[in-house]
Structure 1
Amino acid sequence: MAAISFSKVSKAYADGHLAVNKLDLDIADGEFLVLVGPSGCGKSTALRMIAGLETITGGTLSIGAEVANDLSPRERNVAMIFQSYALYPHLSVADNVGFALKVRGEKREVIAEKVKAAAEMLELDKLLTRRPGQLSGGQRQRVAMGRAIVREPAAFLMDEPLSNLDARLRGQMRAEIARLQRASGVTTVYVTHDQVEAMTMGDRVAVMNGGVLQQLAPPRELYDRPVNLFVATFIGAPPINLLPGRLRRGGQGMEVALPGLVLPLPAAFVQERSALGAQGDREVIVGIRPENLFLTEGDADALSARVAFQEDLGASLLVHVDLVDPAANAQQKRAGLDELDEGAPAVISTRMRISAPVSARRKAGDTVKIGIQVDSLHFFDPTSQLAIR
């Protein structure tokens, strides 16, 4: 096992494309770290640099106490698990699992012992004589993991290993990989574009975009305290709602003006977010998670919206609504929306998503009132897109 450290690591290609830009990232010995981001963000390139499959054009990569920039893949003692499994179709499960040990020149009895132990851990012990073509996708992925485990590497590197599986198998394998990592204690770097995998598997999650590390934090902190608009919109399913707003000081303290509604901000909420109290009258982007909205009746402090459609998720509903003309309810609201809505069209077509109980079912076209859990709001600077906290 070993810690892995990126210090100002960059990867630039011959055409000038900068895939990874001065990445600073320390992965602790035994940690399960997830690299997540959209296609082309640099996450797989970073993983391949750890494996030695991509050359480093700037900075220093260390594995354990050793600088690894110029080490060959064999010298790094890391095991990579690919999306495609990369099994030998003509070999049995046992021979696939033990192949790296055979190449290394291990004794036959040592190979048999390690293959047996890995097979029992992965529940492959009854499949050892089968070939990959006789296995399901989940079983083949476990064989690929077994091949990595028997090597007893310093680190596991996993490049979107579940993307070829169906939804049910992905759910099973997420739990299985997390369990095995904790049982083995081997440092693991896991690359995915799926934020659900990132949130459910990693000790910490590194969010990347455009080759730049955006935020590194435990999953819950990413969700509750995103550092910028990209992280807020990328992390969370269903995604966060975004509205134009204006922060300002009112008669009772800080308040936020939304399309069709002005909400006072609780003093404790503002005090916890010191940057809010330092703001003057300014435009902001307001983020609201779908679970922090609720359908209500006759609430003066509520948004007016029209139901577009709804998704029945079984245990709950995801209601999609469009905000309606705030001027239609202006007399029910507090004064001061003129500057926010100046030049706005008659109908603000901002689409919002609300997580609601099944009992709150509505019909398309229904006009509804939407309450907001004010202490769960997120605020972002429209120019820098950084969180205002």
Structure 2
Amino acid sequence: MSIDTTNVDSLTHVKPEEINKLKRSVFNKHKSILSVRHELANLAVIGKYDENDFYATLSLDGDSQEIRDVISVLEKRFNAASDLEALLSRKSRLVKLKNKPNYKLTRIQEEALDDVMTKISEASKVLSSLPDAGCTEEEWKELDVKRIGKPPRALEQDLIREKLDMDNALGELNRIEIHLGMQPSNISSLSKEESTFSLNAGRRSLPPSVQEVEDLDQEYRRIQGLYRQDEAKPESAFVSGKVGRKSKSKQERLEAYQDRLDSLNNEIAKKEAGLKGVDLIERKKKVIEREKRYAKSESRKADYNRFTHIAKSLKELQMSMQDELNSGSMNENEVHDYTISALNSIMEGDLFERKVIESQPNNSLDEQANIDDIMSKVLSAMDI
């Protein structure tokens, strides 16, 4: 959502659907926060995770020394994550200044950047040295865990980032509402009117065949995340001192994850092979959109620009193919054949080379003219 909240004229002409879009954005971020809290509560095996009142869970779990010891670790982890995220934010601001065209950091700014980099390293070590969520200090000492490699980003960091994003989005929404003489929204009011702005969302559902592949892909990414988390831990982290069923070793867990990943990969490939025409484009769009987000979050500018261009091309191709289907100018098989050629061109960077189209056999002059017309519209839309 891009509304210039510093421009009075821009605010005055904000449409109701734009406000609803902002409300959805805020509320979706709120749901993401609840999801991370739920995941942390599950990891810690407590009834409620609330970074604003860690001891609120005592009303659900009962008050015991063990629960208090677990809560103490959770509180330390969140505070350490907050310190680390504050330093990372400061680093980000300084790096943006450094990368600004025709701008050179002052000596004080250079020293500040060096200082914050050192502090980030120290803060990261503090966070990674703390027990995992759900463990007490005493249990952690018994396990004698030694971290190996760069630790994955902590869930507490995700929680802090989601909260910051939501606060920024809510602030933008409130500025618009106040300017228009409306009552400023909050999470409580948005919860009550969720059905209103959700119903007006107008977001098209994915075709069932594409949704099936996306669900498998989501499960693949989840298992992949678990694999990487366990891979970064030492063998000692998988040895339980508690009585009961023997825990799986690190190697056994990784092998089980890999078996599941291989199985999911085969299922995804099989389902993807069955997608046709516009559904196949939709699937490619979802994949590229994720790659684009990853590239942006990891500051891979060249990759981000490339994926942005591909995403735009896919969107234009999908719209054109859907128009041809709706008008009856091409049947599903023709659309699929054209889509395969177009996708290959897009992924290789040779967008819609004419030789790909002209090499197709059995095209009548009318059919070829129709394809040339499609090609012209797609290329024009993409400024090629």
More helix by share: 2
TM-score normalised over the length of structure 1: 0.27
More strand by share: 1
TM-score normalised over the length of structure 2: 0.27
